[in-house]
Structure formats: structure tokens, C-alpha cells
Amino acid sequence: MANKNRILSVNDLHVEVEGKEIVKGVSLQINSGEKHAIMGKNGSGKSSLAYALSGHPNYKITSGTVEMGGQDLLEMDATERSLAGLFLGFQYPMTIPGVTVVNFLRAALRARNGNGIDMKNFRKVFKEKMKLLKIDNSFATRYINDGFSGGEKKRLEILQMVMLQPKVAILDETDSGLDIDALKIVANGIVDSAPKDGGVILVTHYQRLLDYIKPDKVHIMLDGRIVKTGGPELALELEAEGYNKLEAKESQKVGV
């Protein structure tokens, strides 16, 4: 029987990039309201999994299934996945000259919700969320990420998430390049404004983001596979032991 609270179901997903298999049979089940962390060192397949789920054309899904809210995600292109409620926060957000932050978000909400959106309410919520994320009001009329610092870019990614309220938000190394103050602001924004009935996937190298955001589950990826799953304590264990020790243990299991 299907889990009525299941918001995302990934089963035995395999992904290739330029003919090389990068994701090697990942399965992941996220229920409504849950936050999951995917941890792993560089090259483990974390970001490849995120891009494949979001529909990036360079990431070819060769087998497996993905359902979001009962819909077959793999039958949709990237735009359709976004409109259906999938959100990807980029590790390296791109600059879009000529498009202001406020116009971009207004257009995104219209595309998601249709012309019925209450634009007066939009302005109110927009200002509230900018204040929450300590984004100056002047940023509303600036071009997206044009001249923004690393912390400002990441806060803008979270602003997009909290305004769009997706079913599933995938945040790819949101903590990358942030100082401690910016990290706290971004983490608090995720905790306070993440979609309450949706799911969040936090892709990260380090424990430090999870000091502020307590995940329901932590998954460790090595060589394109999830090799271990546990609660928040697993991230602390990984921080203490390091990836190399875990990798050695996994190699022993398979007789390498």
C-alpha cells in the first residue's frame, strides 16, 4: 500500500554523465515534512543525484523510478518538474543580467500558480521574507546575483524557496562558501520557512550546516551509492571519523 505521506520516492536510480555511470542505484524515500541530509566527499555523486532529479539534460537517467506526490517525475522535463513543485538551490547560482529579483520571483509565482496570485499579498510576503533573511530592500530591484557576494547569492536561493513553497526542495551545498554569520541566517531561513507539507534534501560535505538544521535522516554517499543511513547522530559520527575511515569499512564489506 502506498504511503499517503510520501512526498518523494526514488527507487534504484542510475545516472550517467558522458557515458560514465555516476549514480549507481540510489533509493530514497521522503515523507511530508521531513528534512534529509545527503553527505559525501567530492565525487561521491551527491550533486549528480540533485541535477538528475531536477532534469538537467547532461545527467542521463538510465534506469530506476522517481515519483513526487504520486507523479512520475521522469516523464517531465526540467520546467515541468519545477511547475510540479520541485526546487533546486544551486551550489553556484548563476547571474542573470537585466532581470530584477522582484520581477523574477513575480514571474515564477505566476508560472507556478497562474494569474490568480494576489500581488498585494506577494509584496507583503516578499518584504517579510527578505527581512527574515536579512536581505536589504534595495536587492529587490537589483539584477539576479549581479555583483552579489557568496552569502547574498545563497540567501537569494533560500528567498526563492520560501516564496515558491515547493513540494520538494533540493539544496545543493547551500553552506558552501558561507561564513558563520551568513550560515546562521541561511539555516534559520530554511528552518523557519521550509515548506511545512513538503520535503527538503540538504546536500552537504560537512556537519556544520546540520548544527542549525536537524535532519530527520542522514544518508552517506560513497562512489555513487548510499552506503549508510541514520539519524542526526550519523553526521556527528562522520565528522569524528572522516570519510576515509567509512570508505575503508565499506571496502572491507565487499571484499575490496
Is 70 exceeded by the pLDDT of residue 246?
yes
CATH hierarchy code of domain 6-253: 3.40.50.300
- In tens, the pLDDT along 173-190 reads 888 878 888 889 889 888
User: How far is Cα 188 from Cα 69, in angstroms, rounded to an integer?
Assistant: 26
Name the band, by pLDDT with cuts 50, 70 and 90, for residue 3. Answer: low
Residue 159 in grid coordinates: 528567498
pLDDT of residue 225: 95
Q: Which of 202, 201, 254, 207 is nearest to 234 (CA)?
A: 207
Is 90 exceeded by the pLDDT of residue 224?
yes
- In tens, the pLDDT along 226-240 reads 999 999 999 888 888
User: Which of the pair, 117 or 108, is modelled with greater confidence?
Assistant: 108
pLDDT of residue 1: 44
- What is the rounded average pLDDT for all residues in the chain? 89
